[in-house]
Chain A
């Protein structure tokens, strides 16, 4: 979240995003990428070519689709590392979710 706050000037947008990204007023193509990442996380064995096609329909290049998948996959991986090794929240951090930090 910290990274997001650093990258997005609009604090209200970040707050709304944290509450519910679907209703934060993001453009459709961004919502499509986020929905893709969420499906990948929750239902990875249900991914289909149509999911990729949807992203193309929103104007994403193949390189970008690749990156979307890699980012989502990376965070799925790192979330599991964190959960399985009991990584403690940073001392200034309330448990999930937080609004600071770049590692």
Chain B
């Protein structure tokens, strides 16, 4: 039994070394930064899962003395498959799986006796035991990767160029503001310009997030300052909350808020010394931490997440404007064509509104309908009562037209 316990503690030791080697890395460092070849740390973990799974398959065959049936694999192919299988899965899923596979193996081994552990088998021209196989494939393998990760971490951040990141930040912030400056009032009203958000919501969201990240940055830089913790672990929920909090804020307020936040970020970044960029601390979302440099990169990338929406909206509006029909689809009476009732109605329109609106003109082919329509309009809109004044009547008109997405 003692020998089984020692194998298990060896397994745990190897895996702990592997986990320790990645301790404190940010999600971005774990999933996006190549370790020299194509692999990220997450890929290394996926690769380890792959070999764990092979161990789970092979152990019973060794135990039953059926080593001849162990399928041979091409290591490179096998690694490619293992890593590929986890590419689209999250880091958290990979981390959960690597714990699960190890536990499965520990469960298998703990059911063995000491004879089985050290029974010799001939496999591919060499003598193996379960003990030697497990130590070799798992404990030593884990430790080898742990050492590789530790070595890679020493160089991590060496290629960081604070000046470039800072320039990038200023550029992206300015680009975004320039885009905003091209907007006009009509762009700001559509409540679903970008998905479920108006442009104002989106800009408020950018400012809120930047402010949250900046507070996290202050804390990393000076841990005596309070940490920035989001109210909710759920990003969507968090976004909804933030947008709800800002609802009712005017466009100028929101715009100003983003500009001020950008200024604060720029000021903060400007005073960082080169070494400060490598300071590490918690990020303002769950289960992540990392360097100040990366946090600033997150701010930059957040603009990249949202600017395309804004650009697309602006392109759509531009094409709508240029494509807007300049003529109605039916003929209508020009001023000098109108006679009789049509003429009378046109004159009334000029008297009432100073001009003949196109919506009035479009009814001119049937002057009686035009007259009836305008009378109904006047009868219900041009009057006032206790709780329903002219402003309220106009508001109803606007709410209906907005709900119908109609420019009139």
Contacts and interface: CB of A to CB of B under 8 A. Distances in A.
Interface of A: 1, 3-4, 7-8, 12, 15-21, 23-26, 29-30, 33-34, 37-38, 40-42, 58-61, 63-64, 67-68, 70-72, 74-76, 78-83, 85-90, 93-99, 101-103
Among B363, B388, B389, chain A packs the most CB atoms within 10 A around the CB of: B388
Contacts of B251: 15, 19
Given A20-B248, A86-B328, A60 B387 contact: yes
20 contacts: A4-B394, A4-B395, A12-B250, A18-B398, A21-B395, A29-B387, A37-B400, A38-B403, A41-B400, A67-B393, A75-B404, A79-B406, A80-B404, A82-B359, A85-B330, A86-B329, A87-B328, A87-B358, A94-B184, A97-B402
Contacts of A12: 250
A8 B391 contact: yes
Interface residues of B, number: 63
Given A7-B390, A23-B248, A103-B356, 19 more contacts: A3-B381, A4-B391, A4-B398, A24-B248, A38-B400, A59-B387, A60-B388, A64-B386, A67-B383, A71-B381, A71-B397, A72-B396, A74-B376, A79-B406, A81-B359, A95-B186, A96-B405, A97-B402, A99-B185
B383 to A, nearest CB: 8
A67 B389 CA distance: 11
Interface stretch (B111-119, B126-134, B157-165, B318-326): B318-326
B376 A79 contact: no
Contact of B404 (A8, A19, A76, A86): A76
Interface of B: 184-186, 188-189, 191, 198, 200, 247-248, 250-251, 320-321, 324-330, 349, 352-354, 356-360, 362-363, 373, 376-377, 379-381, 383, 385-408
B395 A17 contact: yes
B138 to A, nearest CB: 59
B401 A75 contact: yes
Contacts of A61: 385-387
A7 to B, nearest CB: 4
A42 B250 CA distance: 26
Nearest to A64: B388
B38 to A, nearest CB: 48
Contacts of A96: 186, 401, 405-408
A41 B404 contact: yes
B400 A87 contact: no
Contact of A67 (B247, B329, B380, B406): B380
A3 B394 CA distance: 6
Contacts of B388: 33, 60, 64, 67-68
A80 B186 CA distance: 21
Given A7-B391, A16-B250, A71-B380, A82 B362 contact: yes
6 closest residue pairs by CB, A with B: A96-B407, A103-B357, A23-B248, A79-B406, A75-B400, A86-B329
Contact of B408 (A37, A58, A72, A78): A78
Given A19-B251, A89-B407, A96-B406, A3 B397 contact: yes
B357 A101 contact: yes
Nearest to A84: B329
A89 B327 CA distance: 9
A1 B400 contact: no
A75 B359 contact: no
B358 A88 contact: yes
Contacts of B401: 75, 79, 96-97
A71 B385 CA distance: 14
Contacts of A67: 380, 383, 385, 388, 393
A97 B357 contact: no
B329 A85 contact: yes
